[in-house]
Amino acid sequence: MTPEIWFVNLGIQIEKLDRVAFSIFGFDVYWYGIIIGLGVFLGLMTAQHYAKAVGYTADMCFDFLIYAIITSLIGARTYYVIFAWDKFKDDYSKIFALRDGGIAIYGAIIASVITAIVYTRIHKLNFFRFGDIGVLGLNVGQIIGRWGNFVNREAFGGYTDNIFALRYIKEQAKNLTPDILEHIVSVNGTEYIQVHPTFLYESLWNLGLFAILHMYKKHKAFDGELILIYFIGYGIGRFWIEGLRTDQLIIGHTGIAVSQVLSAVIVIVCVIIMILCRYRVNKSKAVTEQDSDKEI
């Protein structure tokens, strides 16, 4: 039997993997939704675990998540629609057809940050301390959630023959570029595309980023530092990975990927803020030490 999915250089084959996990009363439940749901759940568990260490309760994280799920979904869809307007301008009803695909993680992140600002202000919480917890949960959610793209045969890159090279059956994949079509592989009469599994790259990148955040959290110099580290780390990885993808959202007719531009801006801004905050912390420590010396 010819496999539907094939990591050819790793020798891993998946004979069949449907997008639909099961059906209830004629309603299809997709693996994509299940995987995203699992990512949200594990992200919540992660945030709740770390929340206790800084005096926040698990209920606060759950309460915030209820609002964040709604706003992030709206933000993710809005971001996608804005930068893929040509797909919707002739039929506005497609804007609400979420089951047809089309959400963007940066839109979800932006909406979540805005939601966190409002939530912490209303509940009189320290936004930066709360955000340090939030990015740990968000990071875990991204590690898991990207595998939804794997099941959907989407969010992949151009042709490659590296160790992680991934083959999909041609008819089951979308956003095929000339580069990919020039390297079609035929096995027993079945045509495959062979591409960069960018979903895997991003999942592994986020796993490494989580390890850094976890190890550094006890050594942070100021509230909000984990937020900055997350955005710098994710921004760098996303800039690289976005450059490989075949389904980029482009700014107008410039040919420039909006997520690469946004990633670059985020990294630069966060590095500058990190330097300034570190300078203030070090200066404050120096003043404190001088005052201590005078007392002695």
Six-digit token string for 71? 């706003």
Tell me which residue of 246, 242, 245, 216 sits closest to 228, measured CA to CA.
Answer: 216
The confidence score (pLDDT) of residue 93 equals 87
Which residues lie below 8 Å from residue 161, measured CB to CB, with a gap of 6+? 9, 194
CB-CB neighbours of 40 under 10 Å: 20
The confidence score (pLDDT) of residue 110 equals 96
Residue 72 identity (one-letter amino acid): S
The confidence score (pLDDT) of residue 296 equals 54
Tokens 């580069």 sit on residue: 179
Angle at 203 between CA 201 and CA 208, to 5 degrees: 95
Strand order across the 12-14 sheet: 12-14, 5-7, 166-169, 190-195, 185-187
CB 266 within 8 Å of CB 235? yes
Tell me if the pTM is above 0.95.
Answer: no
The confidence score (pLDDT) of residue 153 equals 94
* DSSP assignment letter at 192: E
Q: Where are the domains of the chain?
A: 5-295
The confidence score (pLDDT) of residue 101 equals 74
Mean pLDDT by 10 residues, the chain (296 residues): 93 95 92 96 97 91 96 95 89 83 91 97 96 97 96 95 97 93 95 97 98 95 97 98 94 92 98 96 76 56
Residue 17 identity (one-letter amino acid): L
Which residues lie below 8 Å from residue 208, measured CB to CB, with a gap of 6+? none
The confidence score (pLDDT) of residue 89 equals 86
User: Could you write out the DSSP letters of every residue in 153-199?
Assistant: T-S-BSB--STT-EEEEGGG-----HHHHTT-EEETTEEEEEE--HH
Angle at 78 between CA 206 and CA 229, to 5 degrees: 25
